[in-house]
Amino acid sequence: MPRITVHVDGTTYTDDVSARTLLVQYLREHLGRTGTVVGCDTSNCGACTVHLDGQSVKSCSVLAAQADGHEITTIEGLSGDGGQHPMQQAFHDNHALQCGFCTPGMIMQAVDLLSDTPEPDDQQIREGLEGNLCRCTGYQNIVRAVRDASRRMRAGAEAEHTGETPAPRSAEERTAQPTGGQS
Amino acid sequence: MTSTAEPELGRSRKRKEDARLVTGATRWTDNMALPGMMHLAVLRSPVAHARITSVDTSEARRMSGVRAVVTGTDIAADQGSLPCAWPITEDMRSPQAPPMAVDTVNFAGEAVAMVAARSAAEARDALDAIDVDYDDLPVVLDVESAAQPGSPLVHTELGTNRSATWTFDSAEAGTGGDVDRALADAEVRVERTFRQQRLIPAFMEPRSVLVDPTSEQITVYSATQVPHILRTMLAMSLGVDEHKIRVIAPDVGGGFGGKLQVTPEEVLTFLMARRLGCPVKWTETRSETMVSAHHGRDQVQRLALAARRDGTVTGLNVELLADMGAYLRLVTPGIPILGGLMFNSIYKFDSYRFTCTNVFTTKTPTDAYRGAGRPEATFAIERMMDELAAELDMDPLEVRRRNWIDRAEFPYTTVAGLTYDSGDYEAATGRAEELFGYRQLREEQARRRQRADTVQLGIGVSTFTEMCGLAPSRVLGSLSYGAGGWEHAQIRVLPTGKVELVTGVSPHGQGHVTAWSQLVADRIGVPFDDVEVLHGDTQISPRGMDTYGSRSLSVGGMAAVSATDRVIEKARRIAAHMLECSEDDLEFSAGRFGVRGTDRGTGISDVALAAFTAHDLPEGVEPNLDAEATFDPENFSFPHGTHLCAVEVDTDTGEVRIRSYVCVDDVGTVVNPLIVEGQVHGGLAQGIAQALFEEAVHDEDGTLTTATLADYLVPTAADLPEFTTDRTETRATSNQLGVKGVGEAGTIASTPAVVNAVVDAVRHFGVDDVRMPCSPQRVWRAIRGVRASSETAPEAGGGLGSMETGGFAGSEGDLR
């Protein structure tokens, strides 16, 4: 059994794990970090996405042994201070989740997306989240949330909205943009 | 106690549910572990139809950590038969449905053995050491040939693959004329056959069950939509005393009908836990979900529509073959029947006949999937209306206008005998046309056609309605459903003025905690944050019919509203006593009883405290403000809307791109617009997925080839467009709130809008149908005129199923 030392959400753990243990199993079953979930067996759904040394990985596709000596951040450690990361806040504010099962992975991937592309357009957001499936939202509010978080995370920029109820949609979003015909 | 500054009803409150979900502080069933807990793994049949000749578990039993290995024979006497609560006809044929196969397997994925072990990995390892011998029986995959005499049988003991035939005939029912006459006299007849492909609900949270037998009540945690139904059904099918079972639905990660079930695994986990006397947990892999959790849709629909040359429809005949799969699960037989009263939709047909034959095949059982019968009906009629328009060379919106129920005609009793209480199809359609730029898009379409553009534009229309809010117990009874459709709520006003609302609905993503808080806060006049909504545990919420069929708000929300009324009634009596006035002198508003014409009054929290202390209560008044109520509506509710879809079809590649999607839904009064919009978005995604991406495909041996999320194409963010949504608001008259239900609307409406758009884009090539999902290959073939292939090749985009061999990939697909 390999012995590994992994830093997870600010705590150091040293454990003997069987060679086949997946990182997600190690997080959930050995460390009790059940915020990260498993949605499929084929690395398609992305529900298990965490950060390994700041990069998003699907923790069902990483062996626990491969995480030896690395820093893992999960949804439970994302904010660091017990509050909420701007991405978590933006998901809440934009109703970017319903059942919430895909949400941890989606948020971790979205944070990674913004670290690569701080000001993505909608298409870049959609493509950047392509490895994460959501069955509830149709993605529209997820895209909106990521756009919102991008604004919040840029220094000095205003959030798309704050306060207890969401701001009304911008005029252009609200009223369709009947593209009508093109010539 | 201060009242809320603005009314809660209609306010886009952000969800209370989110805080835990965005931080990972969740309680999915699989997150739980109990002391001494064993892990259960289930061995599944790799073959679709076979006799089990032997099962050797000796090696598995010797493996590390293995506590028990159990086969169907071991539990044959205890396991009972999985319940089917909807015998649609008196002579319906229903096979025994053992949770674990004993001597015969009837679909690939059926449970044949199970292992309980110390760890999930050890349990899984032991499965590989179980040796099962199968003696193959003929597979039965194609629903049409299965329905024919002489077909190999799924269940030999039934003597046929036909489970039941359910008919509705307007001439017999007295709700309309004779459809045969209408068809014979028709100036125009349109006949089409549509294939509703088999879909997989694909909720994101795999199912999980944890049973703890170590307390007085056996506690079942399950990722279920229906904890109350599960409890009763476990008791009835296993013969266990109902009061000895407690069912908890903790956080549940989506359902879409897929978790409206009493599953084999719930029973098996229960049996194993009782056998071992310790907690046992089963969590499925995604591949298990795909092969063993019930599927949806899967119908062959033959329609004949009679109309006059001016576009007026006169008659509709619908003949369905519905694929049940191998067994009748909880409501399997009734799913197509839910659509049976909806094919006429918003149109004023004079005559209507619906005949549905339910047929067994050796495939995974089907059952409810978002919309459940109504998407199938809506698809077929909306496709037919477009086909009629094409036949008459008329605008598809105009054909609909000539036939729909005018706003002045409500309430309107349809040819199917349902009474639509309200609606305004003109308003929703007008608004949708405006948002869409309908005329301009038609002009662009004409230009592209004229210049033979490689990319052709298609416009699809769907002016849908649905019946939802399942409910009326009386009507469900007349449809032979095995239960009622009422809903229950209880309100407890705590001594400090905080409020607990117990609801019998069981949310799994819908945001009921937020919406119900709004309902109660508004009516009792307490702050939104002072309301706690409790649900999903039969010990906390003793009565309920759970969440499905867009019923929760229109039935469950109404129960909550009725309970608030009773709370206020009780409080009024105490307040009058406190204020030494007559109850008639009190007016209640914003959480305060005021004595008319004075500035005297008292807040509801003071009344709650007075009730609690009980030092000075009027005679015969109990010392609390708690109240409960049950609501059972008189009628279904009928949301409607107009969905318009524009697609660009690349005629060289067959690729379909949704250029714009506009929907204007009328779901009645809206409690929380943010939540409603979210429900519409998610519904659209699933309906569009049926049109373009998803299909459960079986090979010729009955093996599901789309058994992973790599093969079954749940759309990603990059596959879907930005939706334009809007609403019109016509109040339902069947409930005091005026709400109709929104959970299924998007799914029901969108599929035909997209397929109509695809067909519209390529109709000038002579195409009048493209089978779903409208993959590039199918669209390309349709354009090239390889019609037979386009209709028979089952495929699902990139999955194994799309690899065609010799023209088409499976016998399941050949319909004609």
By the 10 Å C-beta count (0-12 exposed, 13-18 middle, 19+ buried), B20 is classed as middle
pLDDT of residue A155 exceeding 70, the answer is no
Q: Of B591, B608, B631, which residue constitutes the final position of a domain?
A: B631
pLDDT at B3 exceeding the cut of 60 = no
For every residue of B362-383, DSSP letters joined together read SSPPB---TTTTHHHHHHHHHH
Check residue A49 and report its DSSP letter: E
Range of the domain at B520: 486-631
- Residue of B371, B364, B373, B400 whose CA lies nearest to B385: B400
Separation of CA B764 from chain center: 36
| Residue-level pLDDT at A82 | 75
Q: Which two tokens stand for residue B507?
A: 């949310």
| Cβ atoms B815, B792 nearer than 8 A | yes
Chain A window 99-138: which residues touch B at a Cβ cutoff of 8 Å?
A: 99-104, 107, 122, 125-127, 129-138
**Is pLDDT above 70 for A171?**
no
Interchain CB distance below 8 Å, B681 and A140: yes
Token pair for B773: 């999902």
Of A44, A99, A177, the CB nearest to B254: A99
pLDDT above 90: residue A177: no
Domain CATH for B535: 3.30.365.10
- Residue given tokens 């909106």 in the structure block: A144
User: What pLDDT was estimated at residue B198?
Assistant: 98
User: What is the share, in percent, of chain B residues with pLDDT greater than 70?
Assistant: 96
A47 to chain B, any CB pair closer than 8 A? The answer is yes
Give the helix ranges, DSSP H, for B457-511.
473-478
Distance from CA of A23 to the nearest CA of B (A): 14
Say if A40 is an interface residue toward chain B (CB within 8 Å): yes
| Degrees, nearest 5: CA angle B511-B517-B518 | 95
Query: Across the interface, do A95 and B444 touch by the CB < 8 Å criterion?
Result: no
Contact B228, A157 (CB under 8 A): no
- Mutation choice for B interface testing from A9, A73, A140 by most B CBs within 10 A: A140
- Closest by Cβ to B717, choosing from A41, A88, A129: A129
Q: Is the domain of B662 the same as that of B552?
A: no
Collapsing DSSP to helix, strand or coil, B140 comes out as coil
Task: Name the β-bridge partners of B44.
Answer: B111
Name the minimum distance, in Å, from the CA of A157 to any CA of chain B. Answer: 22
Q: B22 and A40 in contact by Cβ < 8 A? A: no
Q: How confident is the model at residue B704 (pLDDT cuts 50, 70, 90)?
A: very high
Cβ neighbourhood burial of A14 (10 Å; 0-12, 13-18, 19+): exposed
Question: Count of residues for chain A?
Answer: 183
Q: Which long-range contacts (CB under 8 A, 24 or more apart) does A43-46 make?
A: A44/A131, A44/A133, A44/B708, A44/B709, A44/B710, A45/A102, A45/A105, A45/A132, A45/A133, A45/B204, A45/B286, A45/B709, A46/A102, A46/A105, A46/A106, A46/A109, A46/A131, A46/A132, A46/A133
Structure tokens at B394: 């008329």
B28 vs A164: CB contact, 8 Å cut-off?
no
Q: How many whole angstroms separate alpha carbon B745 and alpha carbon B646? A: 19
Q: Are residues B418 and B506 in the same domain?
A: no
Q: Are residues B229 and B328 in the same domain?
A: no
CA distance B239 to B90: 24
Please give the mean pLDDT across all residues of chain B. Answer: 95
Q: Which residues of B fall within a CB distance of 8 Å from A34?
A: 24, 26, 28, 30-31
pLDDT digits (tens, 9 = 90+) for B720-763: 999 999 999 999 999 999 999 999 999 999 999 999 999 999 99
Please give the single-letter amino acid code of residue A125. Answer: I
Mutate to test the interface with B, among A9, A95, A137 (most CBs of B within 10 A): A95
Q: Write out pLDDT tens, residues A82-94.
A: 799 999 999 999 9
Which residues is B212 bridged to in the sheet? Answer: B219
* Cα distance from N-terminal residue to C-terminal residue, chain B: 70
pLDDT band at B802 (very low <50, low <70, confident <90, very high): very low
| pLDDT value for B470 | 80
Structural domain includes residue B534: yes
Q: Are residues B615 and B653 in the same domain?
A: no
CATH number of the domain that residue B72 is part of: 3.90.1170.50
Residues B545 and B584 in one domain: yes
Contact predicate B117/B67, CB 8 Å? yes
Contact check, Cβ <8 Å, B26/A100: yes
| pLDDT for the residue numbered A181 | 64
Q: What is the ipTM of this complex?
A: 0.95
- Asked if the structure places residue B615 within a domain, the reply is yes
The minimal CB distance from B443 to the residues A100, A132, A181 is found for A181
Nearest to A99 among B12, B508, B726 (CB): B508
Tell me which CATH code domain A86-162 carries: 1.10.150.120
Which of A22, A82, A96, A30 lies closest to A52, judged by CA? Answer: A22
- Does B23 contact A84 at a Cβ distance shorter than 8 Å? yes
Interface test with A, best of B204, B662, B714 (most A CBs within 10 A): B204
Contact (CB, 8 A) for B783 and B766? no
Say yes or no for a CB contact (<8 Å) between B444 and A180.
yes
What are the tens digits of pLDDT across the range B643-681?
A: 999 999 999 999 999 999 999 999 999 999 999 999 999
* B163 located within any domain: no
Closest CA to B71 of B112, B30, B35, B104: B112
Give residue limits of the domains in chain A. 3-77, 86-162
Task: Classify burial at B599, counting beta carbons within 10 Å of its beta carbon; exposed 0-12, middle 13-18, buried 19 or more.
Answer: exposed
Q: Phi, psi (5° rounding) for residue B175?
A: -100, 0
Chain A closest-CA separation from residue B263 CA (Å): 19
Q: What is the DSSP track for B575-611? A: HHHHHTS-GGGEEEETTEEEETTSS-EEEHHHHHHHH
- Substitution target in A40, A134, A169 with the highest count of B β-carbons within 10 Å is A40
Best B6, B8, B17, B21 residue to mutate vs chain A (most A CBs within 10 Å):
B21
Cβ-contact B402, B394 below 8 angstroms? no
- With tokens 């979930």, the residue in question is A37
In angstroms, the CA B505 to CA B227 distance is 9
Q: How far is B283 from chain A (nearest CA, A)?
A: 10
* pLDDT reported for residue A163: 58
CA distances from B795 to B428, B776, B799 (A): 35, 10, 7
A 66-95 near B (Cβ less than 8 A): 74-76, 78-79, 84, 88, 91-93, 95
Evaluate whether residue B157 is within a structural domain: no
Q: Which two tokens stand for residue A129?
A: 């989240």
Distance (Å) from the alpha carbon of A9 to chain B's nearest alpha carbon:
13
Q: How many residues does chain B have?
A: 816
Q: Cβ of A178 and B434 within 8 Å?
A: yes
pLDDT computed for residue A175 by the predictor = 45
For B441, the closest of A41, A165, A180 (CB atoms) is A180
Query: Do B109 and B364 touch, CB atoms closer than 8 A?
Result: yes
Q: Tokens 């992305």, residue?
A: A46
- Residue A55's Cβ-side half-sphere holds a number of Cα atoms within 13 Å equal to 5
Considering only CB atoms, B435 lies closest to which of A107, A122, A176, namely A176
Burial group, residue A10, by CB count within 10 angstroms (0-12, 13-18, 19+): exposed
Whether residue B647 sits in one domain with residue B608: no
pLDDT mean over B230-256: 97
Q: Which of A34, A38, A143 sits opposite B717 (nearest CB)?
A: A143
Sheet order of strands, B656-666 included: B455-465, B640-650, B656-666, B723-727
Amino acid at residue number B714: V
**Window from A130-134, B343-347, B426-430, B804-808 with minimum mean pLDDT:** B804-808
DSSP calls for A83-104: S--HHHHHHHHTT--SS-SSHH
pLDDT tens-place string over residues A25-64 = 999 999 999 999 999 989 999 999 999 999 999 999 999 9
CB contact under 8 A, B24 and A75: yes
Q: Give the integer Cα–Cα distance in Å for B366 and B356.
A: 15
CA distances from B672 to B344, B519, B668 (A): 31, 10, 12
B684 → closest Cβ in A91, A104, A138:
A138
Closest by Cα among B19, B227, B640 to A79:
B19
**Interface residue of B22, B645, B706 to substitute, partner A, most A CBs within 10 Å:** B22
* Range B524-543 average pLDDT: 97
Q: Which residue of B has its CA nearest to A86?
A: B22
Fold of A3-77: Ubiquitin-like (UB roll) (3.10.20)
Q: What is the pLDDT of residues B483-532, one digit of tens each?
A: 999 999 999 999 999 999 999 999 999 999 999 999 999 999 999 999 99
Q: CA-CA distance, A18 to A21, in Å (whole number)?
A: 6
Q: Shortest Cα distance from A30 to chain B (angstroms)? A: 12
Q: Which residues of B touch A29 (CB under 8 A)?
A: 120
CB pairs under 8 A between A and B: 217
Q: Which two tokens stand for residue B25?
A: 């502080």
Residues of B in contact with A33 (CB under 8 A): 24
Total structural domains in chain B?
3
| pLDDT surpasses 80 at A179 | no
Q: How many H helices and E strands in chain B?
A: 23, 28
Determine, for residues A181 and B442 on separate chains, whether the beta-carbon distance falls below 8 Å.
yes
- Please answer yes or no on whether A139 and B685 come within 8 Å at the CB atom: yes
**Both structure tokens of B523:** 């009516």
Residue B602: which pLDDT band, with cuts at 50, 70 and 90? very high
In this structure, the answer to whether residues B236 and B355 fall within a common structural domain is no
Residue B142 lies in a domain: no
For strands B296-307 and B313-325, give the pairing: antiparallel
